[in-house]
Amino acid sequence: MAKLRGTGIAAVNYPTGMNLGGDPSQALIHATTTGTFVISLSSTDLGQGLKTVIAQIGAETLGVPFENVLIDTADTDTGPHCMGTFASRATHRVGNAVIMAAKEARKVMLEVAAEELEASPDDLDTDGQGNIYVKGSPERKIDITSVALAAHFKYGRSISGRGMYIKPKSPVDPETGKMDPDSTEAHACVVAEVEVDTETGEVTVLSLKSAYEVGCQVNPALVREQIIGGAFMGMSHALYETTAPYYPSPDHAPGSFSEYVIPGPHELPHIESVVLEYPSVNGPYGVKGVGEMTANAPIPAIINAISNAIGVRLTEYPVTPEKILRALERSPKLKQPAQTGA
C-alpha cells in the first residue's frame, strides 16, 4: 500500500464559435422614454454572465453608464435571431452585433442631443456618466434622460439601432481540405498534481494550475469564476462522471441523480490561474471565448498525472478506482523490491 504522486500537463486551442453553415447573431437596441437602453437578444445567459458582459459592451459603445442598460433575453419567439449560447460564441458574436446596434443608436442619440444643444452632432461626445456635451466646452451638456424625452415627445424619433454579426460559411477546399473553421482561438495549459492511493484506487487531485490566453477580458472576475468552475467540472469528468460505470452487471448501473457520482466541496483541489490577454482581431473589444475550454484541458492533465503516478498509460475516462486498481496490476511501480531484485 502506498500513496503515489504524479504530475501531468495538457494544453488546448479552443475555437470560438463554429462555421459549418454560417453562424449569425442579431441584436436590437432601443431607448425608453427615460433613457434606459434596452438590448433585445435571443441569446441565453446560462449563468456564465452573458447579460453582464453584454451590458458592459453595450454601455461602452453607447457611451452611457452600465446602469442605463437593460438586457432583455426574454423570449426566442419574439427576439432578434441568435444561434444560441454554445461553442463559447456568445460574447464574441452577440458582442459584435451589440456594438453595431449601439453605434446606430448612439448616432441618433447624438443627433437629438445636437438639436437640444444647438450644436453639430460631430462636435458632441458622451462622458460615460450619463451626459452628452460639446467637445471643448463641457459645461454645454444635456443628460441622457432629457435627450430620450426630447426624442420621444418633441422630435418623434426612436433612439434605436440594429446589429448583426455573421461568420460566413467557409467551404472546404476539396483539394487541400483547407477551410476557415472558427473566428478566433483561445489557448490554455493546465498542470495537474494528483495522489493515487494504491490500496483503494482513489485519486485525490491536489492542484490544478493553469495559464489562459483568452483575448481581452470584458469582466476579469467572471473569467476567473469560469476557470475555477471549469477546472472542477473537468476534474469531475476525469474521475467520476459516467452513466455507465464499470460494474459486474448493468443491474448495478445508477438509476437516478442520487446515484450519479459527482464530486463535492471536499474534492475541491487548489486552483490557481493566470490570464494572458492577446486581443483577437475580430472580437468585440478584442474578446475571445472562454467558456467550454475551461473544462477541457483539466481532463487530460489529470489523467496524464495519474499515468505519471502509477507508471501505466490510461486511455479511458472517467478514471474510476476500479480502472486504477486494474491498471496497477500492470504497473512496474508496484512490484515489490524483492521481486524486482532492487
Partner 1 sequence: MASRIVAFNLNGRDVEVMVKPLTTLQTVLREHLHLTATKSGCRQGGCGTCTVLVNGEPMLSCLLPVEDIAGQQVVTLEGITPVEGLHPIQQAFFDNYAIQCGYCSPGMIMIIKALLDRNPNPTRQEVMDAIAGNVCRCTGYESILRAAEDAARRLQSA
Measured from the CB atom, the residue of 168 and 220 that comes closer to partner 1 is 220
Site for partner 1 (CB under 8 A): which residue of 11, 166, 228, 325? 228
Site for partner 1 (CB under 8 A): which residue of 156, 174, 175, 257? 257
Q: How far is the CB of 234 from partner 1 (least distance, A)?
A: 10
Site for partner 1 (CB under 8 A): which residue of 78, 243, 249, 256? 256
d(CA 138, CA 141): 6
CA 28, chain centre distance (Å): 22
What residues between 11 and 50 interact with partner 1 by CB under 8 A? 46-49
How is the beta sheet containing 203-213 ordered, strand by strand?
3-16, 184-197, 203-213, 270-276
Angle between helices 298-310 and 220-239 in degrees, nearest 10: 50
d(CA 205, CA 328): 18
d(CA 82, CA 39): 13
CA 329, chain centre distance (Å): 41
CA 231, chain centre distance (Å): 13
Beta bridge partners of 38: 30, 70
243 makes contact with partner 1 (CB under 8 A): no
What residues between 263 and 322 interact with partner 1 by CB under 8 A? 264-266, 268, 271
Give the strand pairing for 203-213 and 184-197.
Answer: antiparallel
Measured from the CB atom, the residue of 35 and 269 that comes closer to partner 1 is 269
Label residue 130 left, alpha or beta by phi (over 0 means left) and psi (-120 to 50 means alpha). left
Binding segment (CB under 8 A) for partner 1, from list 71-79, 196-204, 259-267, 312-320: 259-267
Three-class SS of residue 188? strand
Contact 109, 132 (CB under 8 A): yes
Measured from the CB atom, the residue of 262 and 276 that comes closer to partner 1 is 262
Measured from the CB atom, the residue of 17 and 49 that comes closer to partner 1 is 49
Site for partner 1 (CB under 8 A): which residue of 14, 37, 232, 285? 232
Binding segment (CB under 8 A) for partner 1, from list 21-29, 34-42, 198-206, 228-236: 228-236
Q: How far is the CB of 270 from partner 1 (least distance, A)?
A: 10
Is 292 marked active-site? yes
Measured from the CB atom, the residue of 51 and 167 that comes closer to partner 1 is 51
Active-site position among 175, 202, 292, 329: 292
What residues between 149 and 208 interact with partner 1 by CB under 8 A? none
Burial of 78 (0-12, 13-18, 19+ CB in 10 A): exposed
Q: How far is the CB of 228 from partner 1 (least distance, A)?
A: 5
Site for partner 1 (CB under 8 A): which residue of 243, 249, 258, 339? 258
78 makes contact with partner 1 (CB under 8 A): no
Site for partner 1 (CB under 8 A): which residue of 27, 83, 110, 222? 222
The CA-CA-CA angle for residues 122, 128, 131, to 5°, reads 65
> Under the rule (CB under 8 A), what is the footprint of partner 1?
46-49, 221-222, 224-225, 228-233, 256-258, 262, 264-266, 268, 271
| Positions marked catalytic | 292
